[in-house]
Amino acid sequence: MKNLIDHLSQYASYHRDTRNIVSHFLGIPLIVLAVAVLLSLPGIVVAGFRLSPAALAVLASTMFYLRLDLAFGVLMAGLLGLCLWAGALLAQQPVMVWLSTGLGLFIVGWVIQFVGHYYEGRKPAFIDDVTGLIIGPLFVVAELAFLLGMRKGLQHEIEKRVGVTRRRDMKTAVRSRT
């Protein structure tokens, strides 16, 4: 079974260009929010809690993240909880508002992702391994931690496996694809 370093290293190997990583700081949160919104219906209230497919997805994802790392798992639980809350609020709106918001966020998020992968010159990680879909949000949180000077040991282990991030100019990026 893969551990935190294994998962993040595999995902990071598809994301070494800083422009691609920056695109993930925008695209992945939009996609996660969109999924929470779209899975918020149908829903029922049980003992004061709204149960929906989104709630089940958040619970399963949180358990996965907690198994990998307690600190990241707790942070992910909080962030996913916010998405769940926003999804529940939108689920109370007229169907067209709920659906257009969810689909709009989803489409915009993926467009941003694919622009980032254009700069990277490499396909998204989930194409080769579907677990990339659940690791993506954790990758964004880990990259933010690294930017804030946290979890340097983890960052070092990942970079030891896949190398450091790089910034290529547009001419180099275009040349590498031809």
State pLDDT tens for residues 145-178.
Answer: 999 999 999 999 999 998 887 765 544 444 444 4
Most distant CA pair in the chain: distance in Å? 59
Residue 91 has pLDDT above 70, yes or no: yes
Question: 16 is in which domain, residue-wise?
Answer: 4-177
In tens, the pLDDT along 99-145 reads: 999 999 999 999 999 898 887 777 777 777 788 899 999 999 999 99
36-59: b or e for each residue (b if 16 or more CB lie within 10 Å)?
bbbbbbebeeeeeebebbbbebbe
**What does the pLDDT look like over 13-60, one tens digit per residue?**
877 788 888 899 999 999 999 999 999 999 887 887 778 999 999 999
Question: Of the candidates 40, 7, 23, 16, which has an alpha carbon nearest to the alpha carbon of residue 130?
Answer: 7
Long-range contacts of 58-66 (CB under 8 A, 24+ apart): 58/83, 58/84, 61/134, 64/134, 65/138
pTM (2 d.p.): 0.86
State how many domains the chain has: 1
